[in-house]
Amino acid sequence: MPTRDDIHTVLVIGSGPIIIGQAAEFDYAGTQACRALREEGKRVVLVNSNPATIMTDEGVADVTYIEPLTVDVLRRVIARERPDGLLATLGGQTGLNLAVALAEAGVLDEFSVKLLGTPLDTIKKAEDRELFKQLLLDLGVGAPPSQTVTTIEDALAFADVIGLPVVIRPAFTLGGTGGGVARTRADLARIAESGLAASPIGQVLVEQYLKGWKEIEYEVIRDANDTCITVCNMENFDPLGVHTGDSIVVAPSQTLSDREYQMLRTASIRIIRALGVEGGCNIQFALDPHSFQFYVIEVNPRVSRSSALASKATGYPIARVAAKIAIGLRLDEIPSAVTGKTVAAFEPALDYVVVKIPRWPFDKFPLADRNLGTQMKATGEVMAIDRTFESALQKAMRSLEIRADALQPIPLDGEAEVAEGREFQPNDVRLWRLLDTLRCDTADGMLEALHAETGIDLWFLAKLRAIVKMEQRLAAHLLTPQLLRTAKRMGFSDAQIAAFTPEMEEASAVRAQRRVWGILPTYKMVDTCAAEFAAQTPYFYSTYEQENEAEPLAGAKAVVLGSGPIRIGQGIEFDYCSVRAAQELRAAGVRSVMVNSNPETVSTDFDMSDRLYFEPLDEESVLNILDNEAGLGAPSSSLPFPPFSSSSVSSVSSVSSVLNSASTSALSASSVVQSSPLPPVVTQFGGQTAIGLAAPLAAAGAPILGTSVDSIDLAEDRRRFDELMERLRIPRPRGAAVRTVADAVRVAADIGYPVVVRPSYVLGGRAMEIIRTETALERYVTRVVAQFGEHPILIDSYLSGREVEVDAICDGDDVLIPGIMEHIERAGVHSGDSFAVYPTRSLARDEIAAVARHTRAIARALGVRGLMNAQFVLTEPSATPGANVYILEVNPRASRTVPFLSKVTGVPMVPLATQIMLGKTLVDLGYAGYPDGLWPAQPLVAVKGPVFSMSKIVGGEMALGPEMKSTGEVMGVDRTYPAALRKALIAAGISVPARDGAAFVSIADRDKDEALPILRALGAAGYTFYATPGTCRMLAAEGLRAQEVGRISEGDTTIPGLIRAHRVQLVLNTITGGRGPIRAGIEIQDGFQIRRAAVESNIPCLTSLDTARAVVESLRDDGGYDVLPLGAYRQRPQ
């Protein structure tokens, strides 16, 4: 059957900026959907506000709009493009809610746009708590005792009926925003309030809390012909009560008998049929661990984070299939790309175990509440695959990149301690605590006790105990081939084994011994069918078995290292870069081998590269892959097997013959070291994760493509970099690298306060602070030395001024600068948290020339081959042109701004960098010869806006500073700055009334002069003010109406009350610093509580006067803006 012939053009809505609960999985889903639709000959129009995505790259959809995701914008897109259909189930909760809004606003009817896939009625039935409950009742499928309420009083009244604890689930929200488990009436009142505020329809469900019940999920797909399949089921390690996005999740289920498995599968299919979903659907169950009783707790009638995980866990592309179903295909008409024999009407069979562990941002927020509940807090996740649970779990732990394998001490980053007696409450370190506890006592009694305390199934606890017992065996016994093999099968890293083996000091010794004993990883294919059909999927995981299925790829190839889990500071931008690099390698005739551990991303879609290894991004795993691709790995199928497998050492002759064949197939680019048998590695695109592996990989003999390891070190090493800047005569803030408190105090005294301090070799301004006093410096250094250990701390003079950021491409000689961005916030706010404008607004011609000149000089001096990012601060203009341009930081790798700049300038930055790594020059590529190396400025203005997820991180400080806190970004692009700025603000969720609003204002004394013009402008726009006493006096002196409110620290709770009651629409609060009780080294001040109240009430809260000034500017003009495809902005208007 063909696809629907009434559908020619399809509008796809993306999910907008990355926030907690809505991350890269929707770039993956959306990208797959665009490709799937275009394969069927449909014209695809895409709208998304997130420039860091792959889906918004030109060429993915037919027409791409990077515009705010609002009803107004979408209406204008629809009027312009006249799509026949709208696909809304692939853009997360954002896409779904927008589709509902468009339908309700009559836009879909007005332009005869059909909602494709799951019908509107179904979306409402699944999302509206009351309708859904009724549907379950009609089906005879249980739901826990619950009631939907719209007031706190009703919530309390219902809890009186069913008893505490209860769960609050807000309607139509994402990632459980505003929900939680209430154990007391006070809890309930608080959570119900936030839940009602979070729900767009002001409705929450109050539900009995099923303590200790298992949480099981099913991914179900249905087509219009009523064929239903389940792709996968998943079991949460953490029992009910922890959001599935914050749970350790295992696929398939481990503790369900076939009866239970099928009972829930059947219920899933009945539900998807009753709902009438056409496409993918996620269903979450609570299962009594002591009976067949089960309840449905959640249904998502769309692709989700879980469906991305299920796709990666099984090899079954849910989003792709859902998109095809939406345009009328049936499951049995969609061929499987994996086997070529099966069709999409097929349920994957796994012959491995998959473990997902979330990555939380508590390292960034020492004050935040680390306890986990029904509201998601993780920014990202990792997944690992193996044939044993122990190994899948341990590989996943290593993939987290928090320097904590199973063995390491509890990775409590920051200083927050978990309260006494709550050690085993769900939190980010519970897994490590459980292991630690088992190390002291492995008896069955301890397992039972932990089970009673946590509700975690005994099966999982027994597996943790098996890991501990292996540690004990390693410690007690001499390492034998058999013991080593068994440990490797259980996922012990060479480093872990070395830690237990007295005769082996280092991981490298274990590695060498493994080679001697022939204990090498094999790679097995993820083939959806447990080997029943011969599959061609180039998707592999490592395991210690007999047969190796991944024979080295023939011909020229290169390994691209991905960026691991999404975390603050290392987000989807790096996945964009990795994917574009892999694609460009293919285009250049070089086969691309991707390595990554993140199940949400496009890069781990197996057809984005020639081969995918789903593996931790650590030295051991990557070296094993390089060995395998060099033909130095485990032999492939060599049946019959030797009867005893313990030590089958590969013969010398076979190894050398492979060596020869590998070197002949090595990449024939001039920049590649020819003598190495290992394939070349691309480390520039995977953020700090990948660049951090460059040195150890190079030391092990791997050729690093592009910029050399020495250049990377040169940029990171404080002393060497200072010398280089000296030689190039490029000014930089005075400073030094120190390792002790005494050194730090001496250096700071010399250069003068304030100073900027940070540990070296970190990303995202990790632990970076501006310090104004010696006491604060001492405290800082003591803490950071304890936390980060070996790396020195960098201290620099803090220069206040305009900050600009440059990305450049260099071939070792020529340099191309696609664009310069100017930050709206002055230096001191992390670049990732700043609004940034392209092209620059305030830079004089000589300043631009100086930035370009310095960038080119540095790129050449470092010998950059590929991408480089540089950040400058510009102080007040000086007599000598350009002398006020200071270099702050250089990163010889792809930066966060590469996708943004690529899109606004039209320069294919990653492809160019990739070609350069392969030996091409900018001249060859036709990108040389621009004056100053500067790509011509485009006839547009683009503003990059940061997006925060602060409402999810309870107790986290949201004030801007040198440490990055945003989780995602949006772009506003238009012809003029005010229009672009307005769009960026709208897309970032900062909307304040243009006139007659009310603002709460609290300005630190040192900022008062600067704040005055901003407040005057607000006053002129009819704003009224609430203010703290000092600020109030200032306002009164200006003749602005202000009402004084007292300090929280003095017992006055007027301010948070006003905020929570939405009596103000804007909070402006600059940081005072200093006062208040000290917890975890950070002061809890009035300001902190005010900011939290604003965040939790979803009211814009600005902590930088620069941002505030921009917001006020955006209120000034008529408010008009264009809605055009991205490419149209780059063409000069007629």
Partner 1 sequence: METERNERIGVLALEDGTIFSGRPFGAVEALADGRRGEVVFATGMTGYQEICTDPSYRGQMVVLTYPLIGNYGVASDDVESRRPWLSALLVREYCDDYSNWRAAESLDDYLARNGIPGLCDFDTRALTRHLRDHGTLRGVIRAYPASAAPDIPALVAEARAVRSVSELDVVAEVSTDAVEPWLAPWTAGSPLPISEAAGEGAPRVLLIDTGFKRNIARCLAQRGLEVIVAPHDADLALVRRLRPDGVLLANGPGDPESVAGLIELTRALVWRERMPLMGICLGHQILGLAAGARTSRLPFGHHGGNHPVREVRTGRVSVTSQNHNFQVDAASIPRDSGLYVSHINLSDGSVEGLAHEELPVFSVQYHPEAAPGPEDNRELFDRFAALIARERSALLAG
Q: How far is the CB of 253 from partner 1 (least distance, A)?
A: 8
Q: How far is the CB of 141 from partner 1 (least distance, A)?
A: 12
In terms of CB distance, is 389 or 900 closer to partner 1? Answer: 389
In terms of CB distance, is 217 or 401 closer to partner 1? Answer: 217
Strand partners, 611: 593
Q: How far is the CB of 348 from partner 1 (least distance, A)?
A: 7
Q: How far is CA 766 from CA 769, 887, 1116, in A?
A: 9, 19, 36
In terms of CB distance, is 171 or 344 closer to partner 1? Answer: 344
Q: How far is the CB of 400 from partner 1 (least distance, A)?
A: 23
Q: How many CA atoms lie within 13 A of 514 on its CB side?
A: 27
Q: Which residues of 82-101 are buried (b: 16+ CB within 10 A; e: fewer)?
A: ebbbbbbbbbbbbbbbbbbe
In terms of CB distance, is 194 or 501 closer to partner 1? Answer: 501
For residue 312, the surrounding DSSP H or E stretch is helix 305-314
Q: How far is the CB of 478 from partner 1 (least distance, A)?
A: 12
Q: How far is CA 1050 from CA 74, 1047, 1060, in A?
A: 48, 5, 19
Q: For residues 171 and 205, is the Cβ–Cβ distance under 8 A?
A: yes
**Strands 380-386 vs 353-359: parallel, antiparallel or unpaired:** antiparallel
In terms of CB distance, is 9 or 645 closer to partner 1? Answer: 645
Q: For residues 765 and 569, is the Cβ–Cβ distance under 8 A?
A: yes
In terms of CB distance, is 257 or 675 closer to partner 1? Answer: 257
**One-letter amino acid for residue 555 of the chain:** G
Q: How far is the CB of 530 from partner 1 (least distance, A)?
A: 4
Q: How far is the CB of 255 from partner 1 (least distance, A)?
A: 5
Q: Which two tokens stand for residue 295?
A: 């309840």
Q: How far is the CB of 358 from partner 1 (least distance, A)?
A: 23
Q: Which residues of 105-116 are buried (b: 16+ CB within 10 A; e: fewer)?
A: eebbeebebebb
Q: How far is the CB of 547 from partner 1 (least distance, A)?
A: 4
> Is the dihedral angle over the CA atoms 122, 127, 128, 130 positive or is it negative?
positive
Q: For residues 401 and 272, is the Cβ–Cβ distance under 8 A?
A: no
In terms of CB distance, is 613 or 927 closer to partner 1? Answer: 613
Q: What three-state secondary structure class fits 464?
A: helix
Q: How far is the CB of 387 from partner 1 (least distance, A)?
A: 5
In terms of CB distance, is 318 or 690 closer to partner 1? Answer: 318
In terms of CB distance, is 209 or 316 closer to partner 1? Answer: 316
> What are the φ and ψ backbone dihedral angles of 461, each rounded to 5 degrees?
-65, -40
Count, residues in the chain: 1134
In terms of CB distance, is 530 or 1020 closer to partner 1? Answer: 530
DSSP symbols for 884-947: TEEEEEEESS--TTHHHHHHHH---HHHHHHHHHTT--HHHHT----GGGBPPPPSSEEEEEEE
In terms of CB distance, is 330 or 826 closer to partner 1? Answer: 330
Q: How far is the CB of 341 from partner 1 (least distance, A)?
A: 6
In terms of CB distance, is 225 or 782 closer to partner 1? Answer: 225
Q: How far is the CB of 509 from partner 1 (least distance, A)?
A: 22
Q: How far is CA 666 from CA 73, 505, 590, 661, in A?
A: 50, 33, 10, 9
Q: What three-state secondary structure class fits 276?
A: coil
Cα 578 from chain centroid? 14
Q: How far is the CB of 320 from partner 1 (least distance, A)?
A: 18
Q: For residues 527 and 338, is the Cβ–Cβ distance under 8 A?
A: yes
- What is the C-alpha to C-alpha distance for residues 709 and 704, in angstroms, rounded to an integer? 7
Residues 6+ apart with CB under 8 A from 157: none
Q: How far is the CB of 138 from partner 1 (least distance, A)?
A: 19
In terms of CB distance, is 259 or 995 closer to partner 1? Answer: 259
Q: How far is the CB of 813 from partner 1 (least distance, A)?
A: 51
Q: Which two tokens stand for residue 778?
A: 């001492």
- What is the C-alpha to C-alpha distance for residues 395 and 615, in angstroms, rounded to an integer? 8
In terms of CB distance, is 162 or 343 closer to partner 1? Answer: 343
In terms of CB distance, is 291 or 670 closer to partner 1? Answer: 291
DSSP symbols for 413-461: -SS--PPTT-TTSSBTTHHHHHHHHHHH--SHHHHHHHHHHH---HHHH
The DSSP symbol for 19 reads B
